Amino acid sequence: MFTASLVPEAYYWARSSKHFDGKLTVVQVSTVFGEEPNYWTLALPGTDQHAMPSDFEIVGPVAPPEKYPMGQAAE
């Protein structure tokens, strides 16, 4: 399984014929069901749903914008 190349909690561009009508979307690797790669799912941001990684074609990682670094809410 390709989950070995995924990074926990990272965001990826992905598409799936089962979700979002095959349109490109952002997913997040979730470890909510376990820390081992066999238990990872893909969280679908904006929803309360998780999907199996095998349901998606991972296109590539989402690169954070360099011009606007993400800070913590407490900063």
The pLDDT value given to residue 56: 94
The pLDDT value given to residue 4: 66
18 belongs to a structural domain: yes
Neighbours of 53 (CB within 10 A): 19
The pLDDT value given to residue 25: 94
44 belongs to a structural domain: yes
Q: How many domains does the chain have?
A: 1
Neighbours of 15 (CB within 10 A): 16
16 belongs to a structural domain: yes
What does the pLDDT profile of the chain (75 residues) look like in tens digits? 456 689 999 999 999 989 888 899 999 999 999 999 999 999 998 899 999 999 999 999 998 777 766 666 555
Domain containing 35 equals 8-59
The pLDDT value given to residue 1: 42
